[in-house]
A and B are shown apart, each in its own frame.
Chain A
């Protein structure tokens, strides 16, 4: 089965500094990788995904992620963090289901990002 790991429970960063949230994956075949953000008492909001093509994926709210096949990583980055970026971030991989064309999302455990003024 496909899986992702988020090694950090929490990331603390000062406003204006670069933000990185780490994610590593384990897949057989092509990886389909996603990042979501969740604000308190809200649903998950889609940020970006990697399917194929350029290793640098740009997404919503100034976020980007770099797909690194040799390191099996898909780290989320933002050049300059805002206090409003404080939230819970989930990395996810599409698992292979009964047929190769379908699969459910396997989420990482989540990383809490705290941006201080």
Chain B
């Protein structure tokens, strides 16, 4: 089945130690998104890629970076994780970014910062 895959499902890192979360998709969608979700709150969009074009949300901290080496893969890099970065990180994709298109989410990676 076509899907959005996130690895690992759980990630433990140390305060200040860089960490990378990965997302892959078999849907061949043009757009990939990264969201941060804390404590069953609404997901917060960090950034998205439309193909190779990177679009950062204005309030996303510089500590968060992303890479998309090809259509299928997208990575979230946290350069120096703080305790406040502990959260569920959700990857999503959509065929394009137009208003009517559905975003499909992966299972998420829960990040714990010690």
- How many A-B pairs with Cβ below 8 Å? 62
Indicate the member of B4, B88, B97 with the most A CB atoms within 10 Å. Answer: B97
Chain B minimum-CB-distance residue to A43:
B105
Q: Indicate whether A94 sits within 8 Å of B99 (C-beta atoms), given known contacts A43-B90, A43-B108.
A: yes
A88 CB, min distance to chain B CBs, angstroms:
6
How many residues in A have their beta carbons less than 8 Å from beta carbons of B?
28
State the majority secondary structure of interface residues on B. Answer: loop
Of B43, B98, B104, B106, the residue contacting A107 (CB under 8 A) is: B43
Contact B103 A105 (CB under 8 A): yes
B27 CB, min distance to chain A CBs, angstroms:
12
Contacts of B4 in A (CB 8 A): 43
Contacts of B88 in A (CB 8 A): 41
Contact A110 B40 (CB under 8 A): yes
Of A42, A51, A104, the residue contacting B108 (CB under 8 A) is: A42
Q: Indicate whether A109 sits within 8 Å of B42 (C-beta atoms), given known contacts A42-B107, A43-B107, A44-B90.
A: yes
B4 CB, min distance to chain A CBs, angstroms:
8
- B41 lies within 8 A of chain A by Cβ: yes
- B102 lies within 8 A of chain A by Cβ: yes
